[in-house]
Chains A and B, each alone.
Chain A
Amino acid sequence: MEGSDTYLIRPSHQYKFKPAVVKECVREIVRERLSGKRFEPEEVQELSRSLAECIKDRVKNAGFDKYKLVVQVVIGEQRGEGVNMSSRCFWDADTDNHAEDLFMNESLFCLAVVFGSYYY
């Protein structure tokens, strides 16, 4: 990341991390790549990694330049097991935010979370 010596402590409204916009990006990508797929142990490793890369690139291109991004993708097999995921963040609530999306079909579930942290 290049330091563009502006020392802006708060992003202006148009550059702020918009959860709704990011959630839409994530939703599109996940639905497109996973509709109709079955959980395949060999395939899922590559699939989750490429999904994460894809989501990260799409969100970067959506114009959040001053944000550091963390994308986490969890794909699990649906076998009736119980799963619970939670997260907490220690950050600046005025500038930082996150967006998530859960996709389920008969054989798998996929949770994608994007965290955006403003780089001062």
Chain B
Amino acid sequence: MSGSIVGKYVPFYIRQLTYILTSDVLVMDEYQTEETAFVVEDVSKIIKESVEAAIGGHAYQHNRVNQWTTIVVEQCLSQLSKLGRPFKYIVTCIIMQKNGAGLQTASTCFWDNTSDGSCVVRWENKSMYCIVTVFGLAI
């Protein structure tokens, strides 16, 4: 009798233990594969989509430019926040009329190179240039 009881219970106990161990390991893996570095491709895609949607196909209009930069920047920011990553974002957008004039932008940052990053997208059509920069700072 005692032999058969031991035979019944010991396997169950071991099975339960292994279940707890494997589920803990699975949770650990999921946590570690979460993005903790700035991914330039994802951000670049978001920027391109936002710019296309806001000003793709439009010609430069002085009275609308203010609205356009606002739309581009807010659209980018809302898409970036939807990614749900632990980052603070800074998005800047410059729209310049095509006139033959020159423009140069430079940026320098004091941050953590392993986790933070930036992405610049240059877009143009027949009448204007649009430069969007996104800086991502890890929390």
Contact = CB atoms under 8 A, between A and B. Distances in A.
A56 B110 CA distance: 8
A56 B68 CA distance: 30
Interface in A45-60: 45, 47-49, 51-53, 55-56, 60
Interface in A73-103: 73-92, 96
15 contacts: A39-B102, A52-B108, A69-B111, A70-B110, A73-B106, A73-B107, A76-B102, A77-B103, A79-B100, A81-B96, A83-B103, A85-B69, A86-B73, A86-B92, A120-B139
Interface residues of B, number: 44
Interface residues of A, number: 44
Interface of B: 60, 62, 65-66, 68-70, 73-74, 76-77, 80-81, 88-112, 116, 118, 133, 135, 137, 139
Contacts of B76: 88
Interface of A: 1, 39, 41, 44-45, 47-49, 51-53, 55-56, 60, 68-92, 96, 113, 115, 117, 120
Contact of A68 (B62, B92, B137): B137
Nearest to A3: B112
